[in-house]
Amino acid sequence: MDPAIAIVPMGLGHLRQVLDLGHEVFDTTVKPYTSWSLTSVAEHLDSPDNACWVALDSDRVVGFVLGSMEFEHRDDWAYLEWIAVAPDMQGLGIARRLVDMCSKALFARGARRIVTDVEQRNTASATLMTRNGFRPAATVTLFVRPNPDEPEPDSADEALPAIPPGAKRALIRHGRLAGEGRAAR
Ligand SMILES: CC(C)(COP(=O)(O)OP(=O)(O)OC[C@H]1O[C@@H](n2cnc3c(N)ncnc32)[C@H](O)[C@@H]1OP(=O)(O)O)[C@@H](O)C(=O)NCCC(=O)NCCS
């Protein structure tokens, strides 16, 4: 643990750096129902029961976690939705501290479970969560049927275009992603 890195509650003044860091490290093409945007951050900031922290190296935001007491249809489940650490600061235990801080706050507010969902190939995130008390609970596979009249795309990424902000929650509400996240982000 690096004591020079302070973990403090996220405020409006951190918004720009949080947004930029997310754009730098998140690969939302692997989960095409998610999107990283100003809305993703602002919605958390706007929520009175948010559990959001940033890791600061002096004035520089080198990591963040965005959590909330809102997990779709479960009033007593919380959601750790986004976590990131700057590439040059990874491997120093910063994410571990962020997860710990966020989880303690959510449990203190009455959460019975905290949900997070991890894309299968994201080893760093899966290890981080496993080491912090999260256990796999359900697996959802995104099945994709290409249009036979369309030429085959060069890569899997092209076959899975990003969905606009807010669409993920709408899909879950409409039952089209009912299993996702309800068990393990
Ligand atoms: C996932 C991420 C936040 C981890 O941040 P980090 O500060 O490097 O993680 P930590 O140093 O706190 O490590 C936590 C644990 O995960 C393990 N870990 C971290 N990176 C790892 C990797 N690439 N492969 C395997 N294990 C890894 C560490 O060994 C540590 O385990 P330990 O406590 O038993 O030693 C960071 O890799 C990241 O920002 N990734 C891109 C964004 C992302 O995918 N976020 C998750 C989806 S929202």
Q: Does the CA dihedral 127-98-72-19 come out positive or negative?
A: negative
- Give residue 92 CA to ligand 1 midpoint distance, Å: 9
Q: Are 181 and 118 a contacting pair, CB within 8 Å?
A: no
In a domain, 183, yes or no: no
Does residue 32 belong to any structural domain of this protein?
yes
Question: What pLDDT is recorded for position 179?
Answer: 37
Predicted local distance difference test score (pLDDT) of residue 141: 86
CATH assignment at residue 50: 3.40.630.30
* CA 5/CA 12 separation, integer angstroms: 19
Q: Is residue 178 part of a domain?
A: no
Q: Which residues pair with 63 in a beta bridge?
A: 55, 85
pLDDT of amino acid 97: 98
Say if 126 falls within a structural domain.
yes
Give the mutation target among 52, 128, 168 for probing the ligand 1 site: most ligand atoms within 8 A of CB.
Answer: 128
Residue 132 lies inside a defined structural domain of this protein: yes
Whether 160 is covered by a domain: the verdict is yes
Which mean pLDDT values do the consecutive 10-residue runs of the chain (185 residues) have?
88 97 88 83 92 97 96 89 97 98 97 94 96 92 88 61 53 43 35
| Residue 41 included in any domain | yes
How much is the pLDDT for 130? Answer: 97
107 lines ligand 1 (CB under 6 A): no
- Domain housing 169: 5-173
| pLDDT of amino acid 173 | 45
Position 154 in a domain? yes
> How much is the pLDDT for 29?
75
- Bridge partners (DSSP) listed for residue 24: none
CA distances from 12 to 5, 67, 98, 119, 158 (A): 19, 16, 18, 29, 35
Report how many domains make up the chain. Answer: 1
Q: What is the pLDDT of residue 150?
A: 83
Ligand 1, atom 14: closest residue by C-alpha: 128
* Residue 22 CA to ligand 1 centre (angstroms): 15
The number of residues in the chain equals 185
Structure tokens at 76: 């007593």
**Quick one: pLDDT at residue 142?**
85
